[in-house]
Amino acid sequence: MKKNILGEHVRRVHFIGIGGVSMSGLAEILLAEGYAVTGSDWNASDITRALARKGITVFPGNDAAYITDGIDLVVYTAAVKPDNTELLMARKKNIPTMVRAKLLGLIMKDYKYTVAVSGTHGKTTTTAVLAEVLLRAGLDPTVQIGGYMETIGGNYRVGSSQYFVLEACEYFDSFLQFYPYVGLILNVDSDHLDYFGTMERLTDSFRKFARTISGDGALVINADVPRLEYITEGLRCRVLTYGADSSRRNASHFSARGLRYDNDGLPSFTIMNGACEVADVTLRLRGKHNVNNALAVAAAAHALDIPADSLKNGLSTAIGAKRRFEHKGVHKNGAAVIDDYAHHPTEIKATLAAANNGLYKRIICAFQSHTYTRTQILLDDFAGAFTDCDIVLILPVYAARDAFAESESSGHLAELLTERIRGNGRDAHYFENFDAAREWLTEHARGGDLLITMGAGDIHVLGEKFLSTTSRALNK
């Protein structure tokens, strides 16, 4: 990245909410480029501790005193409220401020081959797999990802080439600040309706994103996306579609022929580009949704002129990102534990379908819904998402960015969700905290069971508590 991408006068940058996955990655990219970086965050975490070890000063909480006269730029996320004390102080001192997405967009402009992965589900996994393909092809990409990727040892890497692969989030229309050479739309599903309000406005946002793609680049889009023609009409760039279903094969540029699953649920298939064979692959990622993600990567690789052998090598070795169907261990009683980031009804269904492969006698899903607004808007959809598991354990809603009264809203919504799940014929239980759920698991889970802890909050702690001092490594 060119040092003057932020302007010649910018030397010191402060991040409000530096502990976020995307913000921390941007902070480290700027640090690697020689900028002095500070930040603040309400929550101490592995991410903030890692930043501190690399020389970034991370202040606790939020305080106007952190905005000193030596700061040249303050970066914040779209979720930061206008009355944030640090943001107000920056503006009082006439220090320039910039929303996270705009900073990321400015960094993107310095790369020729930027690949932005969008969609309401699957962005992190697909970005990780695509990054693996580029790495295996020797292209030394810069990577910005919304999760921990084992190959790069974190959520970002700074490469020396003109390739940049990143997640592109639709929330607050953030991805409209980007400048992709290749853009991916994995799906368009009902999410973030607290901002968009309607599916029509959400679809319009993806339509606008498609129009940010360079005219000599390409849009890669799932053939099953609703209103596909509306999103793609009149685009200057190439449009490459993909889809795993045989019924869509004639309509899709990229499809999967001969799809089959082994005894462990891992898919094998031939990637087809129209009538031409591209590569035979076996994924290390379970589920049909990951077959679709792999096809999206294949189409993006085609748009980037990446050879088929590099594509095959990357797809066959990629393990995705942390907290995506991640094996955590086996309890002493023989119950296996997996952790997954799924926090939307569609994601829950896909993950449970991938787990329901005949290897386990019972599937127990411990679910922690993420944000009150999403839970309220999609309550009935959540209630119907657990048909592929035997027992559902519901924990209080993880508030995240929502500001409702936690003591009232979190438990009330979770109990209401539990009742709705029971109404759909599932065996569902509500627990006020992780310790209560762990006690239930210790008493009722047994050999042959699979426990999946699921959600975008800190639900993984439950699995760790259950396994603590009484587990053995899971050799898979």
Q: pLDDT by residue (tens digit) across 48-78?
A: 999 999 999 999 999 999 999 999 999 998 8
What pLDDT does 3 receive? Answer: 54
84 and 13 share one domain: yes
On whether residue 88 sits in a domain, the answer given is yes
Both 302 and 230 in one domain: the answer is yes
Judgement on whether residues 330 and 187 belong to the same structural domain of the protein = no
Span 419-443, mean pLDDT?
96
| Pair 107, 1: CB distance under 8 Å | yes
Report the share of the chain in percent with pLDDT over 70. Answer: 93
Q: Structurally, how many domains does the chain consist of?
A: 3
Distance CA(288)–CA(267), nearest Å, equals: 8
Q: Does 404 have pLDDT greater than 50?
A: no
- Tell me the CATH number at 229: 3.40.1190.10
Q: What is the CATH number of the domain that holds 16?
A: 3.40.50.720
Residues 407 and 426 both lie in one domain = yes
Summarised one tens digit per residue, pLDDT across range 305-350 is: 999 999 999 999 999 888 888 999 999 989 999 999 999 999 999 9
* CATH code at position 445: 3.90.190.20
Which residues carry a binding-site annotation?
A: 119-125
Work out the pLDDT band at 218, boundaries 50, 70, 90. Answer: very high
Distance, CA of 254 to CA of 221 (rounded, Å): 10
Residue ranges of the binding site for ATP:
119-125
Instruction: Choose, from 28, 132, 167, 347, the residue flagged as catalytic.
Output: 167
Report how far residue 48's alpha carbon sits from residue 60's, in angstroms, rounded to the nearest whole number: 10
103: which 2 tokens?
Answer: 């900073």
**Residue 222: which pLDDT band, with cuts at 50, 70 and 90?**
very high
Token pair of 15, please?
């991040």
Confidence of residue 244 (pLDDT cuts 50, 70, 90): confident
CA distance linking residue 340 with residue 320, whole number of Å? 12
Q: What is the pTM for the complete model shown?
A: 0.85
Residue 400 pLDDT greater than 80, yes or no: no
Domain that holds residue 62: 8-103
Domain boundary among 70, 103, 136: 103
Query: Which residue in 38, 48, 124, 375 is the catalytic one?
Result: 124
Examine the domain organization and report whether 260 and 165 are in the same domain: yes
Is 3 inside a domain boundary?
no
β-partners of residue 273 are 254, 276
Residue 1 included in any domain: no
Residues 435-441: what's their mean pLDDT? 96
Give the C-alpha separation, 377 to 371, whole Å: 10
Query: Which of 317, 338, 367 is the C-terminal boundary of a domain?
Result: 317
Q: How far apart are CA 310 and CA 268, in angstroms?
A: 17
Q: Using alpha carbons only, what angle is made at residue 330 by residues 324 and 333, rounded to the nearest 5 degrees?
A: 145
Q: What is the dihedral of CA 461, 341, 448, 439, to 10 degrees?
A: 30
Per-residue pLDDT, 164:
97
233 is catalytic: no
Higher pLDDT pick, 138 / 410: 138
CA distances in angstroms from 155 to 43, 106, 122, 148, 293, listed in the order given:
18, 19, 16, 5, 19
Q: Same structural domain for residues 272 and 126? A: yes
Q: 272, 300, 317 — which closes off a domain?
A: 317
On whether both 287 and 415 belong to a single domain, the answer is no
Helix then strand then coil, % of the chain, to nearest 5 = 40, 25, 35
Mark whether 124 is an active-site residue.
Answer: yes
Place 402 in a pLDDT band, splitting at 50, 70 and 90: low
pLDDT, residue 409, reads 65
The pLDDT value recorded for residue 2 is 54
Specify if 462 maps to a domain: yes
Higher pLDDT, 9 or 302: 302
Q: Which of 38, 114, 123, 326 is catalytic?
A: 123
Same-domain pairing of 430 and 286: no
The answer on 383 and 301 residing in a single domain is no
CB 145 within 8 A of CB 156: yes
Pairwise CA distance, residues 143 & 165, whole Å? 5
Domain assignment present for 176: yes
pLDDT band at 476 (very low <50, low <70, confident <90, very high): very low
What's the mean pLDDT in 403-414? Answer: 64
The answer on 297 and 432 residing in a single domain is no
| 93/151 same-domain check | no
Q: Does 58 fall in a domain? A: yes
31, part of any domain: yes
Q: For position 44, what pLDDT does the model report?
A: 85
pLDDT of residue 321: 85
- 313 and 202, same structural domain? yes
Residue 274: its pLDDT value, please? 93
The answer as to whether 339 is a domain residue is yes
SS3 408: helix
Rounded average pLDDT over 412-440: 95
pLDDT digits (tens, 9 = 90+) for 108-142: 998 999 999 999 999 999 999 999 999 999 999 99
